[in-house]
Structure 1
Amino acid sequence: MKSPAFEYLQAQDIADAMSAYDSAEGDAVYLSGGHSVVPSLALRLQAPALVIDISRISALSGISLEDGWLRIGAMTRHVQAMNDPLIAAHAPLFAAAAPFVAHPAIRNRGTLGGSLAHADPASEFPAAAVAMRAELEIVSPQGIRRVPADDFFKDIYETAIEPGEILQAIHVPCPVPGQMIGFDEIARRRGDYAMVGAAVQAVTTDGVADDVSIALFSVGDRPTRAVSAQAVLTGSPIDGAAIAEAQAALCDDLDPPDDPQFPAHMRLHLARVLLGRILTNLKVVA
């Protein structure tokens, strides 16, 4: 299919983009990397009067350390998330997740902010953001606010971004001593959407887990925090017995969709297998 006719505007800055959105009376869509918006236009899932290209706005770019947080501009490409040394050191779950995202051609153009704003429940970066307890910087005509990742993802393809607002940056708290991470997914083929995936961050002292953060994806309508599994692991060594208990606890955390070709009990089984694999192979990052 082909997209319906629309007007196109290359915004010069954020104020220009939001002014154009307001002038279109909301009948507009922002375009960054294009790997979510363009297919939806082609399939006529969206039919805006105006497409506002925000890809060249300088305020949406850049990666920097600020007061114990890594600030990542929303226009950061997937390939940058995979290769940038600051992201590798201070937002390691983004770096770990990036190789699983689609294929090189898409990673070269797709943006981190676009992936988070699109909020596909099978996407890797949203779960990584939740596991790292990132905060999302949203700009509107009224100012800037930061929303914790746990509160940012509302439903399938739905976030805390209100119409006309723009996701400007992602803030990730810098790693602390004893911090470990793990990321993996199960997919039919490399680059396919995951059947189930998980991002894990843990902090240990003398072999005991002080803090555990687990987010699974492709198991519900948004990244899913495994609260019960986290509680099992916190305060104990992450050993075989604790891992087995955490795997069992996933039945309290997950209510995956039932599909004739992929029943819920199978997705839950794969989530347990995957969590065990990740917890057994956690990598120290700080």
Structure 2
Amino acid sequence: MPDIDCRLHRKGALPMVRHDLWATITAEQLREIPDKATLGRLMTGRQATRVVDAYGQISYVHPATKGSRIYDLNHCEGIRRKTKVAVFPLLMEGDAEIRVTWTNSDGEERTWRIEPVRELDDAGFPLDAPVFGERFKANPDTVAAKNKKELDRIAYPDHDDAQEARRRQVTPFGGNLDAISHLHGIETPTYLEREGEIIDAPAPEDIRKPVPLPRALMTLSQAWGRPITREENQWLTEKYPRGIHPDELEKLEQNSAPGAPERRLRAVR
């Protein structure tokens, strides 16, 4: 074309026609483009983040739709309530399908292709949902719940109700599971026993506080089964002005204090 410069101008390179630039590509640099189906699976839209709700679902507005769609993730292994997932809309194939990506605790990335829930009524509820007042329908078991039931079936093969078996303290696995079997083959080192040195430890000092005299008098009165006499009160007050030691009080409970009146038998006519 006259008076038109069709050469490609790039900084640091000489002007060159685009076709001449393509002619410089060698056979080793050529790559075959994937088929249309593969490109459809690879071509996605902008990433978004969603949190799985209590029903194992997420909502997302696909570029091909005008409103929000519901996507069920209950069949995705490892995904549970409040799990954050990355969502990519598929642009070239499918009807409002998305790609869901999630990374588990081991750093492994899992990817699923999810279709929206299509069978909904005008109010947005699934057509197979239970009707109020007619029947009940529990949420489907999650992958974790299914794995738990499978473990219960293996642990208690002769019982239909694993919870009842635990309540009755039934031994799991038929008693054939040895939790310390990996320790049986351990060889302990052999060593010569050494006798310890005998030391003389002084007896600990009795640091118990004496019982205050008023409380001690009440204790003795209950132990003797009678009131404290004036002579006994005077004798105890003079001997133990700061209280009675617990050991001494225990001895006094067995015997009356000096000066106590003697108990004599009287004949009653």
TM-score between both structures, scaled by the size of structure 1? 0.19
More helix by share: 1
Higher relative contact order (CA 8 A, sep 6+): 1
Could you say which structure has the larger radius of gyration? 2
